[in-house]
Amino acid sequence: MSRAHQTQVLVVGGGPVGLALAIDLAQRGIKVIVVEARHPGEKPSPKCNHVSARTMEIFRRLGVAKELRDAGLPEDYPNDVAYRTSFVGEEISRIPIPCRRDRYTATGGPDTWWPTPEPPHRINQVFLEPVIFAHAMKTPGLTILNRTRITDFKQDEEGVEASAEALDSDEKIGIRADYLVGCDGGRSIVRKKIGARLSGTDVVGRVQSTYFRAPDLLARAKAPPAWATFSLNPRRSGNVYAIDGKETFILHNYLKADETDFSSVDRDWGIRTILGVGDDFTYEILSEEDWIARRLVADKFRDRRAFICGDAAHLWVPMAGYGMNAGIADAMNLSWLLAARLHGWGGEGILDAHQAERLPITEQVSRLAMNHALSLQKEREGVHADIDLDGDAGKKARAAAGKALYDLNVKQYCCGGLNFGYYYDASPVIAYDGEAAPSYTMDTFTPSTVPGCRTPHLWLDDGRSLYDAMGAGFTLLRLDPSVDVAGLEVAAAERGVPFEILDVSSSDAGSLYPQKLVLSRPDQHVAWRGDRMPSDPFALIDLVRGSNTDRRKEANREPLHSSEVLL
């Protein structure tokens, strides 16, 4: 038996990255087929626990943020990160993170001040994926073929021809598409087929990881519950994440450098030591989820009409909770570029932007995550022998460790820089103006309208989020309504580029938006800015739609002052 399908974009893999990509493409009017080996709505293994603010901003635009915010832990369950001598032992330190009920209103916390309409959300992937899947199923133009596996594909000038097999029958399926995107995870066949190679650090560490049910655990702890509870003691350090806020947890036992085999440490001993419980404690293992922490990045993200995103393109230790979130950022970067090309207004060069923009960021983030993992490893290895003693010696050791743990870990659990700080500084479709983007670290960032940066968020005077007011295509943010922008409007219309003008009235704009005009791309990154319309609006529109890369090469040769570029 055989059957054939035709579509514009074929997404291989319906994990969080593939589904986010497919929803965004479909919302942009592109026909998409997602091929996924799992059953419809089948839960993944319990990996990701942190959905970043930037990803939540994206989910807000895709129309699924509210449903996601309502899912996961109970609404009043603290999202804090606690450091203790063991799960039931003495608390050493705590990073306060609001529960989801208070997430939009809380103040005074290390991440409550962030300039975003959507703060981060702590939810495990087992709850997240079914919500995204249900949203995808309701999205017109999007078809999901579950229990189907892509086995091969080839490309020609006009498109991609993929072969698939139904997993519950002997049916063979052929799928013809204009483009194919591999969101097929760490073992990606698409990555292999496009000849991309992973390079970096094969092993940063090993983690014996156990998903378990223990209805009795929370009641045994002395301190209030937390979303993440880290045990630090000389015997065995590890981390426990609350999954349902009642009885299910995932526990990471960080193996030591000489424990090179997952079975070299007795699992039950590790669990009991990290929890600080004896033989009277009972728990049920739901699954064993051991993993190797790595730092691997593909050397290319594209071969002609085939691309890779998410874990297919990069794998790194999930410090700062930034694997899926980085993958969704890849997907949102690629989505509008593909849509532009398929709708006909994106030029030949527009698809080159994906790798030029995302590969450098991927390298940077992978190194930040790995370096953080190595710092934590040192922290665990250097744990003071007195840490869980009663009396003054223990108190002193805990006080010293508490401050160090807070200072080190607030960076990863409140990683504002990874959310808002990254910028694209070598793109063929951005009109740079010579000013360097502000630098960022894992936790620090400076909102900026330097081309390539995330369009800084602000609240409009009428109470709306800037992002809610912006269009799905390019939005020209006009900070002074007297500036004439008709020429840009005409150029965009003639080239078929989706373009809206938004007069920004906001008491927050001040120094955040020093120029009167900012052109924001469909992915909410700045494409251009200036105080007046460029003298050649067509040149700017052609550059940002990937049809005039020569202009940028000129601009790159000699850095120009902002007001000179393309005027």
State both tokens at 68: 């996601």
Q: Please select the residue that binds ligand FAD; options are 276, 321, 346, 546, rule is CB under 6 A.
A: 321
Nearest distance from residue 209's CB to ligand FAD, in Å? 6
Instruction: Name the 3-class secondary structure at 368.
Output: helix
339 near ligand FAD, judged by CB under 6 A: no
Q: Please select the residue that binds ligand FAD; options are 9, 17, 453, 476, rule is CB under 6 A.
A: 17
* Piece in contact with ligand FAD (CB under 6 A), picked from 8-16, 348-356, 365-373, 393-401: 8-16
State both tokens at 535: 């003298």
- Measure CA 135 to chain center: 18
Nearest distance from residue 74's CB to ligand FAD, in Å? 19
Q: What is the CA radius of gyration of the chain?
A: 25
- DSSP single-letter state for residue 229: E
16 near ligand FAD, judged by CB under 6 A: yes
18 near ligand FAD, judged by CB under 6 A: yes
- Closest to ligand FAD by CB, 309 or 518: 309
Q: Please select the residue that binds ligand FAD; options are 32, 150, 214, 306, rule is CB under 6 A.
A: 150
Contact assessment for residue 325 and residue 54, using Cβ atoms and an 8 Å cutoff:
yes
196 near ligand FAD, judged by CB under 6 A: no
Distance CA(163)–CA(153), nearest Å, equals 6
Q: Which of 156, 132, 127, 128 is nearest to 144 (CA)?
A: 132
562 near ligand FAD, judged by CB under 6 A: no
Q: Please select the residue that binds ligand FAD; options are 189, 228, 369, 566, rule is CB under 6 A.
A: 189
323 near ligand FAD, judged by CB under 6 A: yes
Q: Please select the residue that binds ligand FAD; options are 47, 135, 457, 521, rule is CB under 6 A.
A: 47
- 537-544 vs 486-495: helix crossing angle, rounded to 10: 50
Assign 3-class secondary structure to 292-359. Answer: EEEEEEECCCEECCEEECHHHCEEECCHHHCCHHHHHHHHHHHHHHHHHHHHCCCCHHHHHHHHHHHH
Residues in region 462-481 near ligand FAD by CB under 6 A: none
13 near ligand FAD, judged by CB under 6 A: yes
Distance CA(153)–CA(175), nearest Å, equals 9
- Measure CA 183 to chain center: 13
- Closest to ligand FAD by CB, 149 or 521: 149
Nearest distance from residue 558's CB to ligand FAD, in Å? 40
498 near ligand FAD, judged by CB under 6 A: no
Tell me the pairing of strands 284-288 and 228-231. unpaired
144 near ligand FAD, judged by CB under 6 A: no
- Closest to ligand FAD by CB, 11 or 491: 11
Instruction: Name the 3-class secondary structure at 107.
Output: coil
318 near ligand FAD, judged by CB under 6 A: yes
Binding mask 274-313 for ligand FAD (x = CB under 6 A): -----------------x------------------xx--
- Closest to ligand FAD by CB, 275 or 387: 275
Nearest distance from residue 318's CB to ligand FAD, in Å? 3
Distance CA(488)–CA(533), nearest Å, equals 7
Instruction: Name the 3-class secondary structure at 113.
Output: coil
Q: How many residues does the chain have?
A: 567
12 near ligand FAD, judged by CB under 6 A: yes
Q: Please select the residue that binds ligand FAD; options are 7, 8, 27, 49, rule is CB under 6 A.
A: 49
183 near ligand FAD, judged by CB under 6 A: yes
Contact assessment for residue 230 and residue 410, using Cβ atoms and an 8 Å cutoff:
no
**Position of minimal CB gap to ligand FAD:** 15
Q: Please select the residue that binds ligand FAD; options are 306, 324, 405, 453, rule is CB under 6 A.
A: 324
416 near ligand FAD, judged by CB under 6 A: no
Count of residues interacting with ligand FAD (CB under 6 A): 34
Tell me the pairing of strands 160-166 and 142-145. unpaired
Contacts of 276 (CB under 8 A, 6+ apart): 85, 86, 87, 88, 89, 231
Q: Report which residue type is found at 91.
A: E
Q: Please select the residue that binds ligand FAD; options are 80, 178, 184, 388, rule is CB under 6 A.
A: 184
State both tokens at 156: 């020609």
Buried b (16+ CB within 10 A) or exposed e, 287-323: eebebebbbbbbeebbbebbbbbbbbbbbbbbbbbbb
Q: Please select the residue that binds ligand FAD; options are 210, 248, 273, 325, rule is CB under 6 A.
A: 325
Q: Please select the residue that binds ligand FAD; options are 322, 420, 474, 499, rule is CB under 6 A.
A: 322
Nearest distance from residue 128's CB to ligand FAD, in Å? 10
357 near ligand FAD, judged by CB under 6 A: no
| Cα separations in angstroms, 133 against 25, 39, 201, 292, 332 | 15, 11, 33, 28, 17
Distance CA(198)–CA(204), nearest Å, equals 15
Nearest distance from residue 274's CB to ligand FAD, in Å? 15
21 near ligand FAD, judged by CB under 6 A: no
* Piece in contact with ligand FAD (CB under 6 A), picked from 31-39, 194-202, 444-452, 509-517: 31-39
- Give the residues lining the site for ligand FAD (CB under 6 A): 12-18, 35-38, 44, 47-50, 125, 149-150, 183-185, 189, 209, 291, 310-311, 318, 321-325, 327
